[in-house]
Amino acid sequence: MKRFLNRREAGSELARQLLQYADRSDVIILALPRGGVPVAYEVALALKAPLDVLIVRKLGLPGREELAIGAIASGGIQILNQDIVHALDIDQATINSVLEQELRELQRREHIYRGSRPAPEIKDHTVIIVDDGLATGASMRAGVRAARTQSPARIIVAVPAAAPQAIDLLQPEVDEIVYVIAPDPFDGVGMWYEDFSQTTDEEVRLLLDNANRQLPGKAA
C-alpha cells in the first residue's frame, strides 16, 4: 500500500476527497495540532475554507507514552480508554498526574497558537476536523466531543491514513469519516509517511497565519 511523502502531500490528496465542501460559507476546517496542521492547511486552501485549531492532548501512559490511555480537549473534555486502564490496572494517581501535565501543555498551546484570538464560532457550521492519521482514535474522539458541545450542523473527520478499528470507533459519533487509506494492520500513523518529522509550534503558527491571510474570511 502507498505511503505519503509528507504531511503536505497527504493533505493535498485528502483535499481531493473533500471537494464537495469547497467554496461553501458554512465550512470550517479545524486541525488537531501539531501534526494535523500541515495536512489541514492544504485542505483549507483547496476548499477555500477558514482554518483554525482544535487543541487535543493524548494521555500517554508513563514509560509507554505512545500508548494512549485517553485524551483531553479544549472545553474540559476528558476521555479515558477504560479497556486499557482496566487491563493494565492503572491507578487514579497515575491518571491524575498525566492529566495535570497534559492540561498544562494544552493551555500552553492555546496561548501560543491563538494568543488573544477567540476560538472560532462553529455553531450551525459544517466542521471538518483534520489530523495526520487515526491510530487509536482517542485524540480525535476528544476533539469530536469538544466540537459537538458547540452545536455544529455536521462534523466530518478527515485524515490521510486511518486504522480500520479507529474508523469503527468514531463512526457512531460523527456524520462522515473521510480518509485516503485504511491499512490493516495499521502499525502506527508514522508508518504511512516517508517524512514524519515533528511539526514545530512555529510551523503551526506560520501555517495558521498564512492560511487565514490567503482565505476569504477568518475562522475566528
Its pTM stands at 0.86
Residue ranges per structural domain of the chain: 7-56+122-214
Tell whether domain 7-56+122-214 is in CATH 3.40.50.2020.
yes
The residue ranking higher by pLDDT, 203 or 2, is 203
Q: Which of 77-81, 186-190, 197-201 has the lowest mean pLDDT?
A: 77-81
| Percent share of the chain, pLDDT over 90 | 71
pLDDT of residue 83: 87
Alpha-carbon gap, residue 29 to 188, rounded angstroms: 24
Span 90-98, mean pLDDT? 93
> Is residue 216's pLDDT more than 60?
no
pLDDT tens sequence across 7-20: 999 999 999 999 99
Q: DSSP assignment of 129-141, as one string?
A: EE-S-BSSSHHHH
Give the DSSP H/E element, type plus range, for residue 103. Answer: helix 92-114
pLDDT of residue 218: 46
CA angle 173, 62, 54 (to 5 degrees): 35
| Dihedral, 152, 132, 75, 149 alpha carbons, nearest 10 | 20
pLDDT tens sequence across 114-154: 877 778 889 999 999 999 999 988 889 889 998 998 999 99
Q: In what order do the strands lie in the sheet with 64-73?
A: 56-61, 64-73, 77-80
